[in-house]
């Protein structure tokens, strides 16, 4: 304990921000991460007030032999932003969002949440294409790729990244962009947190909102195969402005869901119109086809909606403290064997909180050259499947973990390789890192050797430096 106290006092004397140690009030809150199943006890939490604090914390950790964990939003399912005995470099105070609407640019601190970025950009009818849960951190989401409702129209979050301020393992602060440290800039766009601590992102923003068109068609569990086949037929003809997802979930207890349907398991088709027109003609064409070709839905809900509300629609269902286990894979299509697995495995779900998301990746997602960024998902049309086991407490987690693993094993023969979207990677997926980056892995390892030769930043989908 004496060593820890000495470390704490030394770091406190050097930082503008605060340092939280195990005996301090607020320690349990400081070490907490989104996934309630993760219970780590860091040696120290350095709540950095500015980039100089981040440099100081990195130097302190290295000089004291402390493992570094980097915390942005704390939302990663594996909980790698904390760790037993680590020094957590906490970026939550670096959350400023500055919009330049004339230049269509935004700068966001490494600790900003998606809802912070959305609120600031939507004041000008602009957005950074990002994820779908407002309390996700922009940092981790971006470094892994970043996909959500706008991916079909505008591509991944990394496709809009213009530059980043990065604290390197040796304490240097550099800007990575197309013109400065271009190899590092390439690696940051999809290569995860391997290369440094990003304290500020600069994005190009796109016009969307402030109102979008939201359409939700909810079907019974027994209609799963029919709904999936309909989705397969719809997707090739989707307008480029439309976001589209297939989701297996229990109907939420919200006012727009009929009371007799609330909590019932089923399948949903979500249609997002992004033109800003009301009604949105592109979305309406998709609604019409669903009404004409789908089995009778248990309900439908189609309405204009603020974009910020869409971006936070899943916040409560994915609230902090839930116990989570997740796996994922990429699927080339919804062939009959895949549909059979999806429909059958969803029916075996245990917890009513657990969900399956099929992200439709096409349109603008496919317009970026595969080698333009480090993102490992490949840019051909595909689905990214999220299998998310959610339990309200630790006792319920083993059943969800078993369900997710069985589900994934049944789908694996139909997947595109064995890679995974790294933002969904669990600790037991470590063997999938190389496969997830494919031919890009060796280039990433060489860049890692330049910017982090000692693998200081390894609490991530880790790519050891090339030797």
Q: What pLDDT, on a 0 to 100 scale, did the predictor assign at position 467?
A: 86
CATH number at residue 345: 3.40.462.20
Chain segment 388-417, per-residue pLDDT in tens: 999 999 999 999 999 999 999 999 999 999
Chain segment 25-72, per-residue pLDDT in tens: 999 999 999 999 999 999 999 999 999 999 999 999 999 999 999 999
Average pLDDT over residues 138-153: 98
CATH number at residue 104: 3.30.465.10
Average pLDDT over residues 211-236: 98
- Please check whether residues 198 and 63 belong to one and the same domain: no
Distance (Å, whole) CA 160 – CA 210: 19
Average pLDDT over residues 120-129: 98
Residue 344: is its pLDDT beyond 80?
Answer: yes
* End residue of a domain, out of 55, 90, 125: 90
Q: What pLDDT, on a 0 to 100 scale, did the predictor assign at position 120?
A: 98
Chain segment 285-302, per-residue pLDDT in tens: 999 999 999 999 999 999
Is 419 a member of any domain? yes
* End residue of a domain, out of 74, 90, 106: 90
SS3 263: coil
* End residue of a domain, out of 64, 90, 116: 90
Distance (Å, whole) CA 107 – CA 123: 15
Average pLDDT over residues 257-267: 97
- Please check whether residues 294 and 257 belong to one and the same domain: yes
Query: To which H or E segment does residue 229 belong?
Result: helix 224-234
Is 466 a member of any domain? no
Chain segment 422-453, per-residue pLDDT in tens: 999 999 999 999 999 999 999 999 999 999 99
Residue 4: is its pLDDT beyond 50?
Answer: no
Is 461 a member of any domain? no
DSSP tag of 405: H
Three-state secondary structure string covering 142-161: HHHCCCCCCHHHHCCHHHHE
**For residue 80, which of 424, 465, 459, 362 has the smallest C-alpha distance?**
459
Is 102 a member of any domain? yes
Sheet with 68-71: strands ordered across? 18-20, 44-47, 87-90, 68-71
CATH number at residue 44: 3.30.43.10
Q: What pLDDT, on a 0 to 100 scale, did the predictor assign at position 1?
A: 36
Q: What pLDDT, on a 0 to 100 scale, did the predictor assign at position 5?
A: 44
262 burial class (0-12, 13-18, 19+ CB within 10 angstroms)? middle
In the block, which residue shows the tokens 């604290």? 167
Q: pLDDT > 70: what percent of the chain?
A: 99
- Please check whether residues 178 and 75 belong to one and the same domain: no
Is 459 a member of any domain? no
What is the domain count for the chain?
Answer: 3
- Please check whether residues 195 and 224 belong to one and the same domain: no
- Please check whether residues 310 and 176 belong to one and the same domain: no
Average pLDDT over residues 299-313: 97
Which tokens sit at 359? 């992200």
DSSP-assigned states of every residue in 164-220 = EEEE-TTS-EEEEESSSSHHHHHHHTTSGGGS-EEEEEEEE-EE--SEEEEEEEEEE
- Please check whether residues 107 and 221 belong to one and the same domain: no
Chain segment 345-389, per-residue pLDDT in tens: 999 999 999 999 999 999 999 999 999 999 999 999 999 999 999
CB 74 within 8 A of CB 33: yes
Which tokens sit at 87? 């020094």
- Please check whether residues 78 and 203 belong to one and the same domain: no
Q: What pLDDT, on a 0 to 100 scale, did the predictor assign at position 34?
A: 97
- Please check whether residues 73 and 146 belong to one and the same domain: no
- Please check whether residues 236 and 321 belong to one and the same domain: yes
Q: What is the mean pLDDT of the chain?
A: 96
Strands 44-47 and 87-90: parallel
Is 338 a member of any domain? yes
Is 458 a member of any domain? no
- Please check whether residues 182 and 242 belong to one and the same domain: no
Chain segment 382-392, per-residue pLDDT in tens: 999 999 999 99
Is 302 a member of any domain? yes
Residue 268: is its pLDDT beyond 90?
Answer: yes
- Please check whether residues 224 and 199 belong to one and the same domain: no
- For residue 79, the enclosing domain spans 2-90
- Please check whether residues 220 and 263 belong to one and the same domain: yes
> Using 50, 70 and 90 to split pLDDT, how confident is the model at 6?
low
């Amino acid at each position: 304990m004496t060593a820890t106290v000495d470390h704490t006092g030394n770091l406190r004397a050097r930082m503008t921000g605060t340092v939280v140690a195990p005996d301090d009030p607020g320690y349990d809150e400081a070490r907490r991460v989104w996934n309630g199943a993760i219970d780590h006890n860091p040696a120290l939490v350095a709540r950095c007030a500015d980039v100089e604090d981040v440099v100081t914390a990195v130097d302190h950790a290295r000089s004291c032999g402390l493992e570094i964990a980097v915390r942005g939003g704390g939302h990663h399912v594996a909980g790698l932003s904390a760790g037993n005995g680590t020094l957590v470099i906490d970026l939550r105070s670096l959350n400023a969002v500055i919009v330049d609407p004339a230049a269509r640019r935004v700068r966001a601190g490494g600790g900003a949440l998606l809802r912070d970025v959305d609120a600031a950009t939507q004041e000008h009818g602009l957005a950074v294409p990002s994820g779908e849960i407002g309390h996700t951190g922009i940092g981790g989401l971006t470094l892994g790729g970043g996909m959500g409702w706008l991916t079909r129209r505008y591509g991944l979050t990394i496709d809009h990244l213009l530059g980043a301020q990065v604290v390197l393992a040796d304490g240097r602060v550099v800007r990575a962009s197309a013109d400065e440290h271009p190899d590092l800039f390439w690696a940051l766009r999809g290569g995860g947190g391997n290369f440094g601590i990003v304290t500020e992102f600069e994005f190009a923003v796109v016009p969307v909102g402030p109102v979008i068109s939201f359409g939700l068609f909810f079907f019974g569990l027994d209609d799963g195969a029919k709904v999936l086949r309909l989705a397969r037929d719809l997707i090739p003809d989707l307008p480029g402005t439309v976001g589209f997802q297939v989701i297996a979930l229990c109907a939420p207890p919200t006012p727009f869901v009929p009371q007799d349907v609330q909590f019932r398991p089923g399948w949903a088709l979500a249609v997002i119109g992004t033109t800003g027109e009301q009604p949105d003609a592109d979305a309406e064409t998709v609604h019409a086809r669903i009404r004409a070709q789908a089995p009778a839905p248990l309900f439908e809900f189609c309405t204009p909606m603020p974009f910020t509300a869409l971006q936070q629609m899943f916040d409560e269902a994915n609230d902090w403290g839930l116990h989570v286990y997740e796996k994922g894979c990429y699927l080339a299509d919804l062939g009959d064997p895949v549909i059979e697995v999806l429909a059958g495995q969803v029916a075996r779900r245990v917890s009513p909180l657990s969900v399956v998301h099929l992200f439709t990746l096409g349109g603008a997602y496919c317009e970026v050259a595969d080698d333009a960024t480090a993102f490992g998902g490949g840019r051909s049309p595909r689905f990214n499947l999220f299998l998310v086991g959610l339990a309200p407490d630790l006792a319920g987690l083993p059943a969800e973990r078993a369900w997710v693993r069985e589900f994934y094993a049944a789908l694996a023969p139909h997947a595109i390789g064995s890679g995974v979207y790294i933002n969904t990677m669990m600790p037991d997926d470590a063997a999938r890192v190389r496969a997830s980056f494919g031919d890009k892995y060796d280039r990433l390892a060489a860049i890692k050797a330049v910017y982090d030769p000692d693998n200081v930043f390894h609490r991530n989908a880790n790519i050891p430096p090339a030797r």
